[in-house]
Structure 1
Amino acid sequence: MADSDKYDSSSWGAGASGWVENEALFDAVYTPVTAAILAAADLGPDMRVLDVGCGSGTLLEAGTKAGADMVGVDIAPDMVDAARRRVPTATVLLGDAQTMAIGHEAPGAPFDRVISRFGVMFFADPAAAFANLRGVTAPDGRLVFACWRGVEENPTFGGAGTEVITAELPDPPAPPAPGSPGPVAFADHDQLAAILKKAGWSNVSIKPFDTHFDHGIDGSDGVDERLALILATTTGRLAREQLADRLDEQQWAALLDRARDGIRRHLVDGSVKLPGALWLVTAANRV
């Protein structure tokens, strides 16, 4: 399978249910990222805003509360359905933002802001995608998004319990190739800057954003919350697919207990806190 094929509509359709089921938990853990995007975007009344890879509607909801006219686009039907339920006043489109005629599907004024939280790293042709987004952005409109840096800086991907489960997989996922579509596609600062400039964006700013993801909810230690997120994403889906016929109920429970032990190594002041190494990206549509 080509790297670009891993993130088509069918793959997102298979994986989106775990995100939707754990929507509140993802929102709580990623609170610092959401806040950073909203502060940089400075949304307000009379703005028209496009949320790319809108997921279950976190930024759509925040933008609506700020008085903005929100439009979201996502490739996963389950995500779109969840976002429509969560933010019924927003327009939520099902499709690929790289190729969709967004202005036709959501007619209206050009967008004052194009924003995204972890939703722009999966394009087969990112320069074309960002050019398509710029084409529906108002003159002097702004692009604001957060994306991951490298796997080695973010234990949320391969560590903190994940490694215990992947070690049991007969066919574990290969590490992502540098620059290929996927969560860390934009780990390389210079490559990302070149993509945005090729797409016609100006005043490109790519700044490190370092934070911690606190998994403790309502006084919990965050261990089961971290495990829930592992099982909700790709590792959990592969584990269910590859281990269903290999492990009985007792063996599965034992594997999850070993994963919890791995997660507990990341307890800090009573809760699981994982470092997050991101880029906070802004750019302008100067025409």
Structure 2
Amino acid sequence: MADTDLSSTSLGLAAYAEFADRYASVAPTKAHNALYERPATIALVGDVSGLRILDAGCGPGIFSEIFARSGATVHAFDITPRMVELARIRCAGLPVTLAEGNLAEPLNWLQDASFDKIVCALALDYVADLAPVFKEFRRVASPGATLVFSMSHPMRDWMDERTHGAWTYFDTSRFGMYWGGFGEPKPFVQSYRRPLAAVLNSLVESGWNLDSFVEPKPLEEMKIVDPEHYTELSMAPAFICVRARC
């Protein structure tokens, strides 16, 4: 189901409030996450020891925990209250500060030039307009900071008729589908699909310099635990992972 109603409704909150606990339980080891997107994103982030990290759209705190255990001081936020609660449990005792926050709104509680690295994993698909988000990331980034984000691959989503509906590749549209892999009832998740140019141009026009663009391949371990998706993802990517510098 696809449409072009780009309303201000938080698609992330609407979706993840429904299955936050199931997501937090499954995502740490789910093949698409643990053996595909997450390793690619972490490789782009690189060494975080001694650095200040912003984990934007942190979900249940999976990345926040990884960064904190690697020596970083982490500030994380998510729009879903239950996700923030779950992240607090996961990151208990670690140098992680958590808050509720909306990527689609100004990050007013964060100071200018306060983070060495900003990470936003699989959260931007729920935001209609990326430019304000990238501008806010630029504002809170310290000189020389890096931004790493991952999101659905625009071409992959458009090739799925459930996603593109009657619209062209060049349109930005909203679509939804039922997700498998997180138990029953299957959660209905809506997100936005936009052309690649809309992603990268919004990034550059917000003051970021594109540094690396990755269309990840699955780790070899995925061939054992999920051979069907390993074959599929070895033929065509499902996500993009991007690193930019200021």
- Matched-pair contact (CA < 8 Å) for 2:164–2:173: no
Once the two structures are TM-superposed, the CA of residue 86 in structure 1 deviates from its matched residue by 0.9
Query: CA offsets per residue over residues 50-108 of structure 1, 9 Å max, x none?
Result: 11111011100100111101111111111111111111331112121232335xx3559
Give the equivalent residue in structure 2 for 1:8: 10
Q: Say yes or no: does 1:279 pair with 2:240.
A: yes
Amino acid in the other structure paired with 2:7 = D
1:211 maps to a residue whose letter is P
Give the direction of change, closer, same or farther, for the CA distance of 1:74–1:2 in structure 2 (3 Å limit). farther
Query: TM-score, normalised on structure 2?
Result: 0.73
Which residue identity does 1:282 align to in structure 2?
R
- Measure how far apart 1:184 and its partner are: 5.4
Residue 66 (str. 1) matches residue 70 (str. 2): yes
Relative to structure 1, the CA distance from residue 283 to residue 125 in structure 2 (aligned partners, 3 Å threshold; closer, same or farther) is same
- Secondary structure of the 1:147 match is strand
AA aligned opposite 1:4 = L
Counterpart of 1:23?
Answer: 24
Matched, 1:94 2:95: no
Question: Is the 1:127–1:196 contact (alpha carbons within 8 Å) kept by the matching residues of 2?
Answer: yes
5+ residue gaps, structure 1: 164-172, 223-266
Residue 205 of structure 2 corresponds to 198
Aligned position for 1:131? 135
> Residues 80 and 4 (structure 1 numbering): CA distance in 2 closer, same or farther, change over 3 Å?
farther
Tell me which residue corresponds to 2:49: 45
Question: How far apart in 2 are the matches of 1:5 and 1:82?
Answer: 28
Does 87-96 or 110-119 show the bigger shift? 87-96
Give the residue type in structure 1 aligned to 2:216.
Answer: F
Tell me which of 121, 126, 137 is aligned to 1:122. Answer: 126
Q: Which runs of 5+ in 2 are unaligned?
A: 175-189
| Residues 5 and 118 of structure 1, relative CA distance in 2, 3 Å threshold | same
Question: For 1:149 and 1:48, how far apart are their aligned partners in 2?
Answer: 28
Instruction: State the structure with more CA Rg.
Output: 1
Contact conserved, 2:111 with 2:140, CA < 8 A, in 1? Answer: no
CA shift for structure 1 position 272:
7.9
Is 1:83 matched up with 2:87?
Answer: yes
Q: Percentage identity across aligned positions?
A: 21
Q: For residue 12 of structure 1, what is the amino acid of its counterpart?
A: L
Q: Equivalents in 2 of 1:215, 1:19: separation in Å?
A: 27
Aligned CA distance change for structure 1 residues 99 and 23 (closer, same or farther; 3 Å): same
Aligned to 1:179: 172
CA contact (8 A) 2:218 2:230 kept: no
Measure the CA separation in 2 of the matches of 1:86 and 1:27. Answer: 11
SS in 2 for 1:16: helix
Paired residues in the alignment total: 217
Secondary structure of the structure 1 residue equivalent to 2:64: helix
**AA partner of residue 121 (structure 2):** R
8 Å Cα contact 1:48-1:109 kept in structure 2: no
Larger CA deviation: 201-210 vs 66-75: 201-210
Cα 1:107–1:139 shift into 2, 3 Å: closer
Structure ranking higher in helix proportion: 1
TM-score of the two chains, using structure 1 as the length reference: 0.64
Q: CA contact under 8 A between 1:98 and 1:130: conserved in structure 2?
A: no
Counterpart residue type for residue 41 of structure 1: V
